[in-house]
Structure 1
Amino acid sequence: MKILVSALETSSNIHLKELKKHLDDDIELVGVFDKELGNPLYDLTALAIMGFVDALKKLRFFFKLRDELVELAKDCDKVLLMDSSGFNLPLAKKLKKTYPNKEIIYYILPQAWAWKKKRVEKLQEYCTKLCSIIPFEQELYSKKEMISYVGHPLLDEITQFKHTYEKTDKIVFMPGSRKTEITNHMPIFRQIARSIPNKQHILIIPSKFDKEYIKNTYGDTSDFTISNDAHQSLIDAEFGFICSGTATLEASLIGTPFVMSYVAKRFDYFLGRMFVKLPYIGLANIFFDKMGKNAIHKEFFQEEVTSKNLLDEYINMDKKQFLNNSKVLREYLQNGSSKNVAQIIQN
């Protein structure tokens, strides 16, 4: 079986790697994904974008990429789309029009519960099967037979969980995987590292980045020990300073106390706040809100993201309560998703 895959995000490719373990050996992946999983059309590093402004700059390229993937799909048995709704929804539309009978599976659905609820109708129109990793997501969909909660991929990928809170000599810093996230956070993270003596400061850098990219994007990293293993670093650390994204849910599940921060381009942040009407941004906080509980961690945005605010949370956070909440979160998400998605693909 040959499957066309569109997985543009770093996090999507981590999930895809786990999913591939449960697929039959004769299944071939083609399309866009991390090069360690096969022979993709493009290196993911070239596709990394952030926000509306960056996306507009690369618009022509993404139209070309969409057309190339539609052409590739001609010889594929099924299509697997992962996250990246800004690209994958228009791709799904064109695939459906070109190949009306081809099975299109969407895994890591667009967060229509956060904004752009009209995407629900588009997903139901263009796709065949929808694999949800958010327990409450199914409520939005009228075609219940299309969508199923498959579990959460992080519960496949995380192999160790904390059961008691212990101080260690390590603190982890995760400035994100997109260029703008990294450049916005690194000056603040450097200040924090220099303000906490007698600790080892672990900086998580995705393994796909080469030395030149790291030098140009991260700048001076002499205050940090570099790690490519986010899970193990979170297990080892007593606390984390983490940019908004999948990593915040990862830390919440593992049980590593942290504070979340996010600094976007002003225009992007303005648009986001205008359209997204949610009390929180961090997924763990959103889940707790759905359960009628208080937030599991603090969130700081834009001008609030200062070394003082983040350090205050490091000092004052109730870390044992965080761990208790982490256990509640694990129960809420139930199980991993990869095996269930593999079964859907192969049926």
Structure 2
Amino acid sequence: MKLLVSALEPSSNLHLKSLLPRLENVAIEGIFDRSLGNPLYGMEDFSVMGIVDVLGKVLQGRRAVKEMTDLAGACDKVLLIDAPAFNLPLAKSIKQRYPEKEIIYYILPKVWAWKKGRAKKVDRYCDRLAAIFPFEDRFYTRAEYVGNPLLDEISVARRPHEEETIAFLPGSRKGEVTRLMPVFREVAAALKGRRLLLSVPSFLSEEKVEAWYGDISGFTVVRDAQETVAQAHFAFVCSGTATLETALIGTPFVLVYKARGLDWTIGNALVKLPYKGLANIIMDFAGKEPVHPEIFQEEVTAENLLKQYETLDRSRFGEKSEALRKMLKHGSAENVAKLVMNRV
């Protein structure tokens, strides 16, 4: 079988990497990380750095949609992973030219947060909808819950170090890191005498680490986020997928996030949800209480973070973490492979 794949983002390619060993006699073509095969475009071809770059990428994206549509004619099926800004126009183009071509969408657009109109487009142009959150069938008429990819990809179990250990995860983007690190340094100074771990993405060069993080002499740097969290008794985690990973690993933590003022204002205007963390969003849709605290913007102070460290009910957190795992049930790769191979 030939499978046309569109995986533009690092997280999409992580999910694809987990899926590929489960696909028997399947050759992939399209857009994905070059380490996974010989793509038409590599994932890095679509990285965006600024406004001028964005304009160039729009033109490149249109060319890529046309080329991918041409390529779809020689493929048996299509697998789209996340990235709705590109994958929805691609799905429309393929379905209009090849109405009988089966299109599977994995990691559905987050219409429960914003751009609800995308749900109708996904339903119109895609045949199988592989949802990774159990509540997504409320927004998509044909969503099939396949499990959550993090339950395939979390490779560690929590094993707190014998010495009191605190983990700091300031994110992977420059703005996130530079806004959070001054506060994290204050917190670290107050927790002096404990073992302090700082999670730094493996893809960041030493030059970028020095420029973004500033003085990290009080921390032990760990280049694996899951490993950082697994060793910790408590963690401070920047908003993002890392918060759901931490909740599933079971390490008590507080979500922290500081954005530029305008970005925060626009984001809150667009996204009308009571929580920002994925674990809390999942629990909220199930009518359950949040897993962890969330602190944002001017409330992100050393004093407030230390208060959470001192007062968070660790035992209750553990119960909610276990409830979250049970709610998500299992990983998704096996079920997505069955969709591709026509086994369900």
Q: TM-score range by the shorter chain?
A: 0.7 to 0.9
Which of 43, 55, 59 is the aligned partner of 1:59?
55
SS of 2:255's partner is strand
Flag the 1:218–1:69 CA change in 2: closer, same or farther, 3 A: farther
Aligned pair 1:12/2:12, yes or no? yes
Query: By how many angstroms is 1:217 displaced?
Result: 3.4
Retained in 1: the 8 A contact 2:167–2:199?
yes
C-alpha distance in structure 1 between counterparts of 2:127 and 2:27, whole Å: 20
Retained in 2: the 8 A contact 1:203–1:225?
yes
SS of 1:278's partner is coil
Match of 1:124 in 2: 123
Moved more, 250-259 or 186-195: 186-195
Match of 1:3 in 2: 3
**Count of aligned positions:** 338
Match of 2:317 in 1: 322
C-alpha distance in structure 2 between counterparts of 1:166 and 1:316, whole Å: 21
Q: Which of the pair has more CA radius of gyration?
A: 2
Flag the 1:185–1:27 CA change in 2: closer, same or farther, 3 A: farther
Query: By how many angstroms is 1:117 displaced?
Result: 1.4
Aligned pair 1:335/2:334, yes or no? no
Which of 142, 152, 155 is the aligned partner of 1:156?
152
Q: TM-score, normalised by structure 2?
A: 0.88
SS of 2:218's partner is coil
Aligned pair 1:181/2:180, yes or no? no
Retained in 2: the 8 A contact 1:261–1:301?
yes
Retained in 1: the 8 A contact 2:200–2:221?
yes
Instruction: Structure 2: give runs of 5+ residues left out of the alignment.
Output: none
Retained in 1: the 8 A contact 2:258–2:297?
yes
Aligned pair 1:287/2:287, yes or no? no
Query: By how many angstroms is 1:263 displaced?
Result: 1.8
Flag the 1:150–1:308 CA change in 2: closer, same or farther, 3 A: same
Deviations 1:82-116, CA, capped at 9 Å, x for gaps: 22223332333333334443332211111111222
Q: TM-score, normalised by structure 1?
A: 0.87
C-alpha distance in structure 2 between counterparts of 1:334 and 1:33, whole Å: 28
Instruction: Give the share of equivalent positions with the same residue, in percent.
Output: 48
Match of 2:228 in 1: 233
Match of 1:95 in 2: 94
Which of 268, 275, 293 is the aligned partner of 1:273?
268
Deviations 1:206-227, CA, capped at 9 Å, x for gaps: 3233333433433443333222
Instruction: Structure 1: give runs of 5+ residues left out of the alignment.
Output: none
Match of 2:133 in 1: 134
Q: Which residue identity lines up with residue 172 of structure 1 in the other structure?
A: A
Q: Which residue identity lines up with residue 170 of structure 2 in the other structure?
A: P
Flag the 1:191–1:69 CA change in 2: closer, same or farther, 3 A: farther
